[in-house]
Structures are given as C-alpha cells and as structure tokens.
C-alpha cells in the first residue's frame, strides 16, 4: 500500500472519529436537563426577617390542626414563656431527674439560634378547653410540634434548635416541652415533608394511622422534657430541661 493510500485511510478514520464525537456531543446537548427535585414543601415562609418568618410558620401551622368542633386545636405563639422584654437567654439540659448542682447539667447553650413556640389552648394556663385530655390528642399535638420544628429548621437558616411548650391539662400549669435539633432531624430535613408526614391535612385526635403514630413516637418521644424557668447567676432567665426518665 502506497503512502498516499495509507494517508487517505488514516484521514478517513480520523474523520469518522471526529464525526462520532460531534454526534455524541449533539446528543448530550440536546438531551433535556434532569428534572429539578421536588420542593421540600408546598408552602414556605416568604419574609426576609427570621422573626417574622417564624411568626408566619406559627400562623400557617396553627390553622391546620382542628378539634372535632372545627375550632383550632391550639394557638401557636412564636416565642418562649414570660415577658418578651426579659427573654430566656440560656437553655440547660439536665442529665438527672432532679438537678441540684452544676455537675447535674449535661449541656447548656444560648438561645440566639433557638426558636421557641408555645402551644396555647383557649383555657386557663394555655390548657385546651374543649374535650378531655387523652393520649390520642397528645399524639396530634406532638405531630404539630414536629411539623413546627421541621418548617423552622428547614426555612430559618439561623435556627439550630426548636423548643415547643405543650399545653397543660385543665387546672394545671405547663410542665412539658419538646426540644428538636437540626442535627437530629437531618434526614427529615433532607427529604420532602410529605415523606415524613404524608397527610397534608392533619388528622384529628384518634384518627392517626399506626404508621404515622410510629413516626411521631420515634421523632418526639426521646425529645420530651419537663421544664422550669429559673433566674441565672448573671440575672438572665434560664430554661432548665429535665428528662422524663433517667
């Protein structure tokens, strides 16, 4: 085979390779871009200010949860107990059921990155006036607290934790709160909300499915504390969270 013929064959081979590469490029360019992931939730707060955004979340959630009469289960108040002019400055988590000394405290953190909500019924001391307290109603309240925490930790960048104060029984004072942290709920925050809480319309007490009740128990049970508010050594108010059981 002469040199000219070999040159023509080599040139032809290169041309075919070049054409194949161009064809592959065209296919890649023309292939539609992958669909964007589904939104985390159908609704989200829009205010740029974190405090206003928290209030939007509270308002959005409270109107979803209803008593059998159609009334709101509770009002959701953005903020912690006590006067807004003297906010809680520190959260202390106890490792014993009856903390007496500094050594009884497991950890403390300031509240700059902690959002607080109060679930407040229409009765005295934020109790729920309608109906009778029950385990079923407590589960729905736990679902509401969980949903508040998920929205807050998802849409308020500055929030690393959420404390939600539970309504007491009739004739009692509030004694229980739930503490949620962003690290503990990372899987739920990375997945769409409806994978965690499938029903867009919250159930009424007694209408939770077994599967949803299990999710709520798993995500709220370990995060239930008794609480009290004390005066710290520096003069600021301290929220003391005590485990339900050692």
Q: Which domain holds residue 24?
A: 1-35
| Domain match, 160 and 232 both | yes
Give CA–CA dist 1/195, Å, rounded: 69
| Domain match, 156 and 72 both | yes
The answer to whether position 125 is within a domain reads: yes
| Domain match, 106 and 228 both | yes
| Domain match, 31 and 51 both | no
| Domain match, 138 and 30 both | no
| Domain match, 10 and 55 both | no
Q: N- to C-terminal Cα distance for the chain?
A: 90
| Domain match, 69 and 152 both | yes
| Domain match, 16 and 131 both | no
SS3 of the chain: the string is: CCHHHHHHHHHHHHHHHHHHHHHHHHHHHHCCCCCCCCCCCCCCCCCCCHHHHHHHHHHHHHCCCECCCCCECCEEEECCCCCCCCCEEEEEEECCCCCCCHHHEEEEEECCCEEEEEEECCCHHHCCCCCCCCHHHHHHHHHHHHHHHHHHHHHCCCCCEEEEECCCCCCCCCCEEEEEECCCCHHHHHCCHHHHCCCCCCCCCCCCCHHHHHHHHHHHHHHEEEEEEEECCCCCEEEEEEECCC
pLDDT value at residue 7: 45
Per-residue tens of pLDDT for the chain, all 246 residues: 554 555 454 445 545 555 555 555 445 455 677 767 779 999 999 999 999 999 999 999 999 999 999 999 999 999 999 988 899 999 999 988 777 777 788 889 999 999 999 999 999 999 999 988 999 999 999 999 999 999 999 999 999 999 999 999 999 999 999 999 999 999 999 999 999 999 999 998 888 999 999 999 999 999 999 999 998 888 899 999 998 865
The answer to whether position 71 is within a domain reads: yes
The answer to whether position 112 is within a domain reads: yes
Strand-pairing partners, residue 72, are: 66
List all residues 6 or more positions away from 85 whose beta carbon is below 8 Å from its beta carbon. none
The answer to whether position 92 is within a domain reads: yes
pLDDT value at residue 205: 85
105-110/224-231 β-pairing:
unpaired
pLDDT value at residue 5: 53
Which pTM value belongs to this model? Answer: 0.84
- Count of other CB atoms within 10 angstroms of residue 187: 10
| Domain match, 141 and 20 both | no
| Domain match, 65 and 163 both | yes
The answer to whether position 41 is within a domain reads: no
The answer to whether position 168 is within a domain reads: yes
| Domain match, 165 and 194 both | yes
pLDDT value at residue 178: 97
Split into its structural domains, the chain has a count of 2
Give CA–CA dist 58/147, Å, rounded: 10
| Domain match, 52 and 25 both | no
The answer to whether position 22 is within a domain reads: yes
pLDDT value at residue 14: 43
The answer to whether position 233 is within a domain reads: yes
């Amino acid at each position: 085979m002469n040199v000219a013929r070999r040159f023509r064959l080599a040139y032809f081979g290169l041309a075919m390779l070049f054409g194949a590469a161009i064809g592959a490029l065209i296919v890649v360019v023309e292939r539609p871009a992958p669909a964007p992931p589904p939104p985390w939730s159908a609704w989200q707060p829009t205010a740029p200010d974190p405090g206003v955004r928290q209030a939007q979340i509270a308002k959005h959630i409270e109107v979803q949860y209803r008593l059998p009469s159609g009334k709101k289960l509770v009002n959701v108040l953005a903020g912690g107990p006590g006067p807004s002019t003297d906010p809680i400055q520190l959260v202390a988590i106890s490792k014993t059921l009856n903390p007496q000394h500094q050594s009884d405290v497991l950890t403390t953190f300031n509240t700059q990155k902690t959002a607080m909500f109060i679930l407040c019924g229409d009765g005295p001391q934020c109790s729920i006036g309608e109906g009778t307290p029950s385990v079923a109603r407590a589960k729905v309240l736990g679902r509401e607290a969980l949903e508040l925490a998920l929205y807050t930790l998802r849409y308020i960048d500055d929030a690393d934790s959420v404390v939600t104060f539970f309504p007491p029984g009739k004739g009692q004072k509030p004694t229980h709160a739930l503490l949620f942290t962003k690290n503990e709920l990372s899987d739920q925050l990375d997945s769409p909300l409806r994978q965690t809480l499938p029903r867009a319309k919250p159930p009424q007490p007694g209408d939770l499915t077994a599967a949803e009740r299990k999710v709520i128990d798993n995500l709220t049970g370990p995060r239930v504390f008794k609480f009290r508010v004390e005066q710290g050594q520096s003069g600021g108010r301290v929220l003391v969270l005590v485990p339900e059981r050692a």
